[in-house]
Amino acid sequence: MININNQYSFYNDPFPHMIFDNFLDENQAGKIVDEINEISKIYSVNKVMGGRFQYQINHFNNKSFSSELYNLFNSEKYFKKLNNLLLSKTKKNDEFFYSDNFKKIVKKKNFYQKILKKTLPFLLKESFFLHMDFSLAQEEYVREPHHDRDTRIINFLLYLNTLEENNGGAFEIYKHKKNNISNLSKTPNLDNLEIDKTIVPKSGKLIIFLSTPNSIHGVEKFKPLKNQKRYFIYGGYTSFFDVNWKKNK
């Protein structure tokens, strides 16, 4: 049974994010690592982003520890909890918030929903779904500074093993050097950015953030010294339409 730690630190800048240092204990995180290793022997998936293998929930046994964790996140109750925590802190001027009313979590996109979006879009306006993958990253995995797609509401990363700082693979949070930028690119020019925070992966650490237009983040190139792998879970609560982000005034 999953036993989570709800203690966290909250940061407003440069965008609302929370860090749970020990969301899972090492034993629980290790169970998921073992399950990823097992399915990696059974299923073949394409390598992306230089060195990342992504496994979906359908790869796992529905009685697995990974499935139990997925079920925790894949609920309206848990989304509401995280959403309220993040939005309740966004009260400063120039901070982003959204006015959409997300109520119903549904299964990931399918053909039926694509038809609905084109023919009866109002039926999906208050619906959203969870994207969540279980990832194994090897040497050369890297993510350039970016913010996620416009349909993302909340993103999260859960690290399953601890890396040494000199191995690379740290999560990087960026901020723009200049305020009041009107055109927030999904992949800004590096000359316009500076690193606000660097987070070295630690077993059981969870990072959650609003996927605002200025939520620029990336991953430094992973260069393990002893052929170490980087195990983590990426998740995103996702709307069927672009999220309507606004700024406090």
Does 24 map to a domain? Answer: yes
pLDDT at 71 over 90: yes
CA dihedral 33, 38, 44, 49 (to 10 degrees): 10
For 207-228, write each residue's pLDDT tens digit: 999 999 999 999 999 998 878 8
Residue 4 forms part of a structural domain: no
- Classify strands 127-137 and 104-106 as parallel, antiparallel or unpaired: parallel
Contact (CB, 8 A) for 16 and 79? no
Domain around 123: 9-247
CA triple 52-54-57, angle to 5 deg: 160
Domain count, the chain: 1
pLDDT tens column, 107-160: 876 778 888 888 888 889 999 999 999 999 999 899 999 999 999 999 999 999
In a domain, 3, yes or no: no
Q: What strand order describes the sheet that includes 217-219?
A: 143-146, 217-219, 171-176, 193-199
- Evaluate whether 232 touches 54 at the Cβ level (below 8 Å): no
Determine how many CB atoms are found less than 10 A away from the CB of residue 177: 11
Tell me which residue of 164, 172, 166, 169 sits closest to 197, measured CA to CA: 172
- Take residue 177 and report the two structure tokens written for it: 């050097």
The answer to whether residue 67 sits within a structural domain is yes
CATH code, domain with 58: 2.60.120.620
The residue that leads in pLDDT, 114 or 32, is 32
Quote the pTM value.
0.93
Looking at residue 206, its pLDDT comes to: 98
Note whether 130 and 105 are within 8 A (CB): yes
pLDDT digits (tens, 9 = 90+) for 43-55: 999 998 888 999 9
Start-to-end Cα distance in the chain: 44
Whether 1 is covered by a domain: the verdict is no
Instruction: Please give the share of the chain, as a percent, with pLDDT higher than 70.
Output: 95
CA atoms within 13 A on the CB side of 110: 4
Tell me if 15 is assigned to some domain: yes
